[in-house]
Every structure is written in C-alpha cells, then in structure tokens.
Amino acid sequence: MFEKKSSMRTTYGKELVNLGKKYDDLVVLDADLAKSTKTELFKNQFPERFFDMGISEADMVVTAAGLASVGFKPFCSSFAIFLTGRVYDQIRNSIAYPHWNVKLVSTHAGISVGEDGASHQMLEDIALTRVIPDMTILSPSDSTMVKNLMEKIYNYDSYLYMRLSRNDVYDIYEEGTEFNIGESFIHGIGKDITIIATGQMVSKALEAEKTLKKEGIACGVVDMYTIKPLDTKTIDKILNISKGILVCEEHSYIGGLFGAISEYVVRNNPVIVDFVALNDTFGESGKVEELFEKYGLDKDTIIKKGKSVYDRI
Amino acid sequence: MDVQNLVNISKNARIDILKMVYNASSGHIGGAFSAIDIMVYLYFYKMNYSLENFENNERDRFILSKGHASAALYTCLAYKGIIKENDLITFRKINSKLQGHPSRKLTKGVETSTGSLGQGLSFANGVALGLKLKKINSKVYVLIGDGEINEGQIWEALMTSIRYKLDNLRIILDYNHLQIDGFIENIKDPRPTKEKFESFGFATFVMDGHDFYDIDKTFKFADQVKEKPVFIIANTIKGKGVSFMENNVDFHGSPPTKEQFEKALLELTNV
C-alpha cells in the first residue's frame, strides 16, 4: 500500500536549517550525536549557533534553559533514551518547573533502533514526559508531517518533546498536508472499531485496516500525532461512533498513548480499549522488521487484536 | 564601597533569615548564613541590578544554584524592592510566593528555579553563552555549594564553561565544609580543591567569604581575567554569625527551637 520511505530525522535536520535561515534566535544543541540526529546539517550551516555539548545530556538541556532565558529558542537533540530517561530531573526541574521554552527533539525512539539493542531502545519516553506538568508531546508518523510541523514547533510558546525514529518510515501524506500541534489526522472512524495509532505504527494500522474491512469489520484509523495535550475532541468523535478502540504505539503499553486514551475513556464513555504496544518488556538486538514481528508490533498483530476488540464489543 | 552599609545589610538579612526559618519551622539557616555576605556584596555593590533594570537583558545576573539557601536570596530581593519585605514572613507557608526552594514562576527576581542540586551552573553557562552571542557585556554570578559539587553535572558544566571561554561568568564555591551527612571531606573529599579547578583551566581565586574587603579585592581581580572563566573558592563558615550554629551541621536544614531562636536573635542583634 505504501511504497516510498524517507527519514524523519533527515527532514528534521533540513528543517532546522530552513528555520535557521529565517530566524536568528534559533540555536541547536546536541550531545555528540549530531551525525545521527542530523543536527549536523544545522551545525554545518550555522556553526556559531550550534553547540556540541559532548556526552553530557544533563548539562545540555539545562544550558539550553539558560540560552532560552536570554531570548534564544533552543532545540536540543539526542537519542530518546538519553534525552528523556537520563535527564528526567533536569527536564522537570530546570525546564518545565521554571517554564523555559526549550524544544526537545529525540531520534531513535522505540524498538526500531534495531541492532543496538535494549540499552538504546527507548520504550518509556512518552510515559516519562507525559507526567511532567504542561509538557507537550508530538509523535509524527512521516516526514511530510515533520516538515509541516517544524515551524509550528519553533513558534510554539512552551517546552515540547517530539520523538522520531531511527529507521526510514513510509510516506503517508501528500506534500502540503496541514498538521497542527494539539490535533490528530482522521483517516476514518469505524462504526465497529477505530484504530488510534501514533508514529510509525500509523502506516501499519492503515494496512491492517484494509484487511479488517475486507473481513467485514467497519473500521477506521486515526493518526494521533499529538500525545499531549490529548486530543479529546477527536476521541469524543470516535466514542460517538465506534464501539471499541485499538491503540497502536511503539512504546510500552504503560504510560503511553494507550494509557492516555484509557485514562480519558474510562471516565467519560467507557468502551473496550486494547493495545498493540510493547508488553512491559525490554527489547533486544535484531533487524527492525524482525523486532516488530517478535514483539507484536506488526500488521498481523494489529489485525489479530482488531478482531479481538471486535469480538468483544 | 561603603563597607559599613554592607555589614548592616548582612546583619539585617541574618536576622530576617533567622525569623523566616523559625516562623516556618523549616528551612536552611546554615548555608544561608555562609552565603549571605557574598550575596549582599553582589546585590548591593557589585552587580548592575535594580528594580528598574531587573527584567532587562542587560542586567547582571545572580543564580543561586544551591537553592536551599533561598531565604538569603529572598532577603536580598526584598531589600532591593523586587519583592515585598512583608512577604518574607510567608516563607515556606501555604499559598506563599516564597517557596522552600526558589521558583522562577512564583518569585520576581529569581533567575531560574533551583533546588535539585547540580543544575544551576549549566543554566549559568547557557546565560553566559547567550549574552556573548548577543554581544551583551553583562556578568553572570553563580553560587554553588561544596556539597553540591558531589553532583556529576557540575563537572560536566565546568568543562562547558572552559570550552566556551566564558569570561563573563564567575563561579563562586561556598566552601563551608559541611553537607547534610557531615563534613564534605568525609563524604566525597574534593581536595586538592583549588588545584582541581585550576587544572580544569579556570582563573582560580581564594577569598574570605565573610570579609567584604577581601571579596571586593577578589572580584576586582576577576574582572581583569580575559578568555577564561573565573572560579572563586569562598572560605566560609556554615551558620556564620551565631556562635552555636557555626560549623554545626544540625543547622543545615533544621529550624531552631524557641530558646535557640531567642539566643540567636540576641547574638545577631548585638553585633
């Protein structure tokens, strides 16, 4: 169904350069991973506004807060594992609590890190950032979306966390499609079930949807690229039509999008909500598709779980 | 420099800090008393900082990385007119603007929220870096605790100060030798202290953190330094000013009893 793939992190790096040309107050910090996070593209163009902080993420994010305090708009990047778990306290106490406008953009989120294994596969970053008051969390599903969101992120007047993947992901959207912080993209809402997916699970969900429809299940897919603040308007729409929800995310089922949606649904209009996500586990080394299959994040698992939700509604 | 004026401000500040902590039945007197003279020097003599300019980017900045000395910071901000003197007595109480540890969102004049140790120096680096990028000539003063340097992030940040040659930054170490669990030398001994910071590449000075003449001399030397950040080891006494609180770790984070309060008040008033 989808053919072309592209790199969200390369798009991120390119858009940093484009925004850097337009805005003098944009500065970028990285922690010795500029080649991987693609902030190197910005570094090459604007060396005086790029700070390689070395392998010291805690120092990086708080230095960014200091830069924000004199009027700069800093973007900090590293792998998701180091940009959230390692510096949870710094984000909480030195960015969020004093409310500094620092943008945290991670790459290598999720199990799709692949061969590097569990120490580098961040499956808890949404959970960790979601509990921080007023944190905004984005989890884009393709490169067009990243491109469209970047200037909105720059202009967004608060701290924010965005997670991107290491691997290339399928192009879902046509150039020029509009996305907004706080919103979702509704591909469809099913009379039986709706699959709410985020990140690179969206393309898999759209493929699974075709099979489920063929088998007679009235099904739709929503790309919930804003994780926080939760898009309750869209969830309300789904609850008015669907009898069950399946949430798909490349993250632990605890504390992520499944958690966020469940917390909302359970106190409003309870229906069955199930998940396709990491089942309270660490990952391991392997190829991306092998890992998706072994850990139940593939199209077949979405189909199986979709049927299971349908059977229970 | 009107030293008598600074001495008087410090005296009043110590009395207010004592009252604030006693009234709140909680707070950190020891580390506030060791730091207050340096802070009084900076706020009431050295820094370009006033009610008129405290929100301008051109101001000098003081960052209290050892946020538990918050009471000392609040007295300075109150005497500067940035916050209300009447509010001091609400310190650490419910609905107060004056939180146990400084909150940027709640308290005017607080440069950033601190309290989780080890982070203020990174913040100060970011400020110093930003001022240089904007070609603003202001100075950044950051006070760190000697227990605080147990934190690994301090050492990450020290390397950043050096890497970017932040000569608009002055790091002041409140070297009072005590942290909650005892003498710093018995917990994570930083010695040889001066040599450590010198070897990092700092222009390193040692001063008496309770002697305004020595403080002034040191900061004047610091102003001559170019292309290097400045690290000042301030020899201080925890609980300075009250005989039975000096060098006594019991007054790190515990309030005085009624008797101790009255005795301390008498000592501070009769200086």
Residue A175 belongs to a domain: no
Rounded to a whole number of angstroms, the distance from the CA of B259 to the nearest CA of chain A is 37
What whole-number distance in Å separates Cα of residue B237 and Cα of residue B221?
Answer: 23
What whole-number distance in Å separates Cα of residue A105 and Cα of residue A80?
Answer: 8
Contact status of B137 with chain A (Cβ, < 8 Å)? no
Neighbours of A271 (CB within 10 A): 18
Q: Is residue B271 very low, low, confident or very high in pLDDT (cuts 50, 70, 90)?
A: confident
Contact status of A282 with chain B (Cβ, < 8 Å)? no
Q: Is residue B66 very low, low, confident or very high in pLDDT (cuts 50, 70, 90)?
A: very high
- Does the structure show a pLDDT above 90 at A1? no
- CATH number of the domain encompassing residue B120: 3.40.50.970
- CATH number of the domain encompassing residue A203: 3.40.50.920
Contact status of B157 with chain A (Cβ, < 8 Å)? yes
Range of the domain at B107: 3-269
In degrees and rounded to multiples of 5, residue B63 shows phi and psi of -115, 120
B125: nearest CB among A27, A63, A72: A63
Tell me the average pLDDT across A51-70: 98
What whole-number distance in Å separates Cα of residue A199 and Cα of residue A277?
Answer: 12
Q: What is the DSSP string of A10-33?
A: HHHHHHHHHHHHH-TTEEEEESS-
- Does the structure show a pLDDT above 90 at A57? yes
Q: What's the pTM?
A: 0.98
What whole-number distance in Å separates Cα of residue B263 and Cα of residue B239?
Answer: 14
Using a CB-CB cut-off of 8 Å, the residues of chain A touching B128 are: 66
Tell me the average pLDDT across B42-59: 98
Which tens digits make up the pLDDT trace of A148-203?
999 999 999 999 999 999 999 999 999 999 999 999 999 999 999 999 999 999 99
For residue A68, give every residue at least 6 positions away whose Cβ sits within 8 Å of its Cβ, in sequence order, or none.
A74, A100, A101, A102, B126
A142, A170, A198: which is the final residue of a domain? A170
The chain-wide mean pLDDT, for chain B, equals 98
For residue A80, give every residue at least 6 positions away whose Cβ sits within 8 Å of its Cβ, in sequence order, or none.
A106, A107, A108, A109, A110, A122, A125, A163
Query: DSSP class of residue A95?
Result: I
Which tens digits make up the pLDDT trace of A215-262?
999 999 999 999 999 999 999 999 999 999 999 999 999 999 999 999
- Does the structure show a pLDDT above 90 at B219? yes
Please tell me the predicted confidence (pLDDT) of residue A217: 98
Calculated CA dihedral for residues A82, A84, A89, A95, nearest 10 degrees:
110
Burial class (CB in 10 A: 0-12, 13-18, 19+), B93: middle
Q: Is residue B23 very low, low, confident or very high in pLDDT (cuts 50, 70, 90)?
A: very high
In B93-222, DSSP assigns E strands to 140-145, 169-175, 178-179, 182-183, 203-208
Contact status of B165 with chain A (Cβ, < 8 Å)? no
Q: Whose CA is closest to B170, among B49, B63, B33, B45?
A: B63
Using a CB-CB cut-off of 8 Å, the residues of chain A touching B164 are: 51
Contact status of B138 with chain A (Cβ, < 8 Å)? no
Residue type, A269: N
What whole-number distance in Å separates Cα of residue A299 and Cα of residue A221?
Answer: 13
A244: enclosing H helix or E strand = strand A244-252
Which tens digits make up the pLDDT trace of B117-155?
999 999 999 999 999 999 999 999 999 999 999 999 999
Q: Are residues A256 and A166 in the same domain?
A: no
Nearest-Cα residue of chain B relative to residue A52: B160
Q: Whose CA is closest to A114, among A308, A287, A306?
A: A287
Helix, strand, or coil (residue A50):
strand
A144, A170, A196: which is the final residue of a domain? A170
Please tell me the predicted confidence (pLDDT) of residue A269: 84
Contact status of B106 with chain A (Cβ, < 8 Å)? no
Q: Residues for chain B: how many in total?
A: 271
Give all strands of the β-sheet with A219-223 in edge-to-edge order.
A185-186, A219-223, A193-197, A244-252, A272-278
CB hemisphere CA count around A124 (13 angstroms): 14
- Does the structure show a pLDDT above 90 at B32? yes
Contact status of A75 with chain B (Cβ, < 8 Å)? no
Question: What share of chain A in percent tops pLDDT 70?
Answer: 100
Residues 81-100 of A with CB under 8 A from B: 89-90, 93-94, 97-100
What whole-number distance in Å separates Cα of residue A190 and Cα of residue A198?
Answer: 17
- CATH number of the domain encompassing residue A34: 3.40.50.970
What whole-number distance in Å separates Cα of residue B245 and Cα of residue A48?
Answer: 49
Q: Are residues A47 and A100 in the same domain?
A: yes
Q: Is A115 a catalytic residue?
A: no
Residue type, B196: K
Contact status of B159 with chain A (Cβ, < 8 Å)? yes
Calculated CA dihedral for residues A181, A183, A184, A188, nearest 10 degrees:
-150
Q: How many domains does chain B fold into?
A: 1
In sequence order, what are the beta bridge partners of A186? A222
Residue A178 belongs to a domain: no
Q: Are A102 and A64 in contact (CB under 8 A)?
A: yes
Rounded to a whole number of angstroms, the distance from the CA of A196 to the nearest CA of chain B is 36
In sequence order, what are the beta bridge partners of A122? A109
Residue A145 belongs to a domain: yes
B153: nearest CB among A58, A69, A98: A58
Helix, strand, or coil (residue B76):
helix
Rounded to a whole number of angstroms, the distance from the CA of B265 to the nearest CA of chain A is 34
Range of the domain at A199: 185-312
The chain-wide mean pLDDT, for chain A, equals 98
Using a CB-CB cut-off of 8 Å, the residues of chain A touching B159 are: 54, 56
A170, A197, A212: which is the final residue of a domain? A170
Q: Are residues A276 and A143 in the same domain?
A: no
Q: Whose CA is closest to A16, among A54, A55, A44, A36?
A: A44
Unique residue bearing structure tokens 């996070």:
A37
Tell me the average pLDDT across A76-83: 98
What whole-number distance in Å separates Cα of residue A252 and Cα of residue A83?
Answer: 17
What whole-number distance in Å separates Cα of residue A273 and Cα of residue A247?
Answer: 7
What whole-number distance in Å separates Cα of residue B25 and Cα of residue B21?
Answer: 6
Which tens digits make up the pLDDT trace of B80-116?
999 999 999 999 999 999 999 999 999 999 999 999 9
Rounded to a whole number of angstroms, the distance from the CA of A59 to the nearest CA of chain B is 5
Q: Are residues A133 and A107 in the same domain?
A: yes
ipTM over cut 0.95: yes
Q: Are residues A165 and A189 in the same domain?
A: no
Which tens digits make up the pLDDT trace of A91-108?
999 999 999 999 999 999
Q: Are residues A153 and A243 in the same domain?
A: no
Q: Is residue A207 very low, low, confident or very high in pLDDT (cuts 50, 70, 90)?
A: very high
B115: nearest CB among A27, A59, A93: A93
- Does the structure show a pLDDT above 90 at A271? yes
A62·B153 Cβ contact <8 A:
yes
- Does the structure show a pLDDT above 90 at B64? yes
- The alpha carbon of residue A24 and the mean position of all alpha carbons in its chain are separated, in whole angstroms, by 27
- Does the structure show a pLDDT above 90 at A80? yes
Using a CB-CB cut-off of 8 Å, the residues of chain B touching A67 are: 126-127, 129-130
Q: How many domains does chain A fold into?
A: 2
Q: Are B125 and B164 in contact (CB under 8 A)?
A: yes
Using a CB-CB cut-off of 8 Å, the residues of chain B touching A93 are: 113, 115-116, 119
Q: Are B139 and B168 in contact (CB under 8 A)?
A: yes
Q: Are residues A164 and A192 in the same domain?
A: no
